[in-house]
Every structure is written in C-alpha cells, then in structure tokens.
Amino acid sequence: MNCCTQLAVGLGALLICGCADQPTELHRQRIYAMGTWVDLSIRAADATDAQSLFGEIEVVLSAFEKDYYAWVPGQLAELNDAIHAGEPALVTSPLAALIVEAQRLSALSEGFFEPGLGALVELWGFHSSVQNPQLPPSADEISAHLDAGTKIASLRIDGQRIESSSRGLMLDLGGIAKGAAVDTIISLLLERGIEHALVNAGGDLRVIGRSGGRQDERRWQVGIQHPREIGLLGIVELQSGEAAFTSGDYERFYDRNGTRLHHIIDPQTGYPVTHTQAVTVIATNGVTADAAATALFVAGPGRWRHVARLLDIDYVLRVDASGELELTAPMRDRLRPADGVDSDIISPPDEDGAD
Ligand code: AMP
Ligand code: MG
C-alpha cells in the first residue's frame, strides 16, 4: 500500500507514513559537465537552499569530470599511468567502489560491458567530446590493441589499492561514470532532505519523489529520445528512485563511406557496433542502468534479452539498425506515445533552465 492509498484510509495512516508534505517550489538549474548539459529540477521550500545545493552539485560534477575521465589529469589518469608502468596505485574509496562495481557488471554482462577498452576508444578517436573525424584505425592496429589487453577482469583490487597484470589495459569509465554521478547527486539531495527531484544528464536520468512535489500528485514523466529524429519515441513514468539511461549511436559518431562509426565498441572485435541504434533501460539506480544500457547495446540481436536477465533488468527498449523497436513486456506496458503527454525533461532550447 502506498502513501496515497493510506491517505484514503484516514489521518492516522497519514501520520504513520510520514508524508506530511510541506509546500515546495520547483527550482531548476542547468550545468554543463561531463560533456553534456546536466539539468537539475528539485523541489525545495526555500530558494536559497536550492541555490546552495546547486553549488554543491557543481562541485561534485567537477570532481567527476577530473577524476573519472581517463583523458585529463586526475585519479583515473593516474591509475592508468600506474597500470601502464606495472605498478599498484591507491585511489579514493568512492572510485575503488565504482571500479569494483564496474568489474562485477562487466563479468555479469559476459564482457559486453567492458570498461577496460580505453585504448581502443582512444584509437578510434572517441575519447574526445570534440567531433574528430579521422581515418578509422587499421585492422592491425585494432588487433594489436586487443592483444595488449582490454579486460577489466585483469584488475586486482584490494581495498583502495589497485593493480593489473595487463600493462596494456586502459580503464575508461565513460559507460558508467554518468550513472555514478547521477547516483551521487541523488544521495546528496536525499541527505539534504530533498524528497522530489529529477537529475537529468543529457537524457540519462534518475528521479526521487514526484514532479508535483506531493505524494498524491503525478509522478515524473520522462521522454525517450528518438535515435534518428528530433523528438521522442515515447514517455515513461518513473517510480521514486528509478533511473532511465540510454546508449545511442547518435551521441558521438562520424560517417565513413556510408557507415556510421561511433563510440560504443564491441570488445570482441574492437569495432563500433553496427546492429543497434539505441537501447534504453530503466533500473533502480544510475550505475546499473548506465552499465546495462551499454552492455545491451553491444549484446545485440539474439543476446540482449539473455544479458538483460543476467543483469536483472526488466525494462528495456531497443532500436535496431533498421529502426525497428524491440521491447520487453514490462517496458511495453510502461511506454506511452509521446503525443499530448507533457515530459518533465527540459527541452534543449531552454538554455537558462528557467521554468
Ligand atoms: P554509454 O553512452 O553509457 O553507452 O557509454 C559509451 C562510452 O563508454 C563510450 O564513449 C566509451 O567511452 C565507453 N565504451 C565504449 N564501448 C564500451 C563497452 N563495450 N563497454 C563499456 N564502455 C564502453
Ligand atoms: Mg552506459
């Protein structure tokens, strides 16, 4: 029984479920971080509290940009340097915990999610957020990188001490870091007493509470981007705590002789995946949703349902290379046509984040 049903039962239930909502205003802020706009929508009683929270979140996001991205000086770059030198490195406990989780999800996904392939991502030129059209690497270069070692499984992690037997390994947390950042922001908001919020990192998002700000008001409605058109594939309503993440071939790509070369790499072949345009998943946290979207994108036809079961993901929408939609039954029940339904996601032209 949820709070709403309890409300119908009587005042006693209202007190027991502790949902004595105080009036709140929706406050919005837009911060550019991790190569995308991060749109924050939070319900707070006080505008000054909201502004100070936005300041704290900006600091969190800057730390993620520096320490969880392999190609700028920071913790992850230092770890990769140590691996290259064949030495152990000490990292902070949140980064160690994320790497442990990345290793676990990689194994669980049968290696389709593989954060050890940073050197291949760099070889293809997809480490830079600046569009960087260039000649694709040669087959020899790709197999040399595969041979040098691209598996996060080779890491030995002892608390905050990490080392690898594979000196060619380069960690790239690009497939999971946004999920970790969104989860960290949601935890911070909960610690500060915020009950209703949407944290949207360029369409990868997580919510708490409801958009209306009261237990009896509507839930957050979020749109799923069409991979080839400006517009939405549909809208889903999210329960408090849920995350919806999408991996798409439209995020970072260049075209070469009619083939789209993009940033999601098949760890078996070393080449960008060609069978999928986009995968959206809903999960109970950002880290799982982010890793799962990437894993299912790579797993492709015939295997994505199996990998979804391994990762315990019920809600999946896949768009294949020809634009056909495939959905799990629970996702089919939740996805509604976009027409006429308000999405709580701020549309891109709304640069200032104003209401
Ligand atoms: P996402 O948009 O979450 O699917 O993440 C894509 C990013 O993850 C890429 O830009 C790469 O940095 C990295 N990546 C590419 N292929 C993989 C893969 N198979 N497994 C894990 N991370 C990957
Ligand atoms: Mg991902």
Higher pLDDT, 18 or 75: 75
Q: How far is the CA of 62 from the centre of ligand 1 (A)?
A: 20
- pLDDT tens, residue by residue, 202-214: 999 999 999 988 8
Torsions phi, psi for 31 (to 5 deg): -125, 130
User: What is d(CA 39, CA 128) in angstroms, rounded to the nearest whole number?
Assistant: 22
Does residue 172's CB lie within 6 angstroms of at least one atom of ligand 1?
yes
| Nearest atom of ligand 1 to the alpha carbon of 291 | 3
User: 198 C-alpha to center of ligand 1: Å?
Assistant: 24
Q: At 120, is the pLDDT very low, low, confident or very high (cuts 50, 70, 90)?
A: very high
Most distant CA pair in the chain, distance? 71
For a pocket test of ligand 1, which of 34, 108, 205, 265 has the largest count of ligand atoms closer than 8 A to its C-beta? 265
Q: What is the pLDDT of residue 14?
A: 30
Confidence label for 109 from pLDDT (cuts 50, 70 and 90): very high
CB-ligand 1 contact for 203 (6 Å cutoff): no
User: Does 293 sit in the ligand 1 pocket, CB within 6 Å?
Assistant: yes
CB-ligand 1 contact for 149 (6 Å cutoff): no
Find the 178 Cα to ligand 2 centroid distance in Å: 8
Q: What are the phi and psi torsion angles at 156 (to 5°)?
A: -105, 120
pLDDT of amino acid 131: 55
Write down all domains in the chain, each with its CATH number in brackets: 1-345 (3.10.520.10)
pLDDT band at 4 (very low <50, low <70, confident <90, very high): very low
Take atom 15 of ligand 1 and give the residue whose Cα is closest.
Answer: 264
What predicted TM-score, i.e. pTM, was given to this entire model? Answer: 0.90
C-alpha atoms less than 13 angstroms from C-alpha of 288 in its C-beta half-sphere: 18
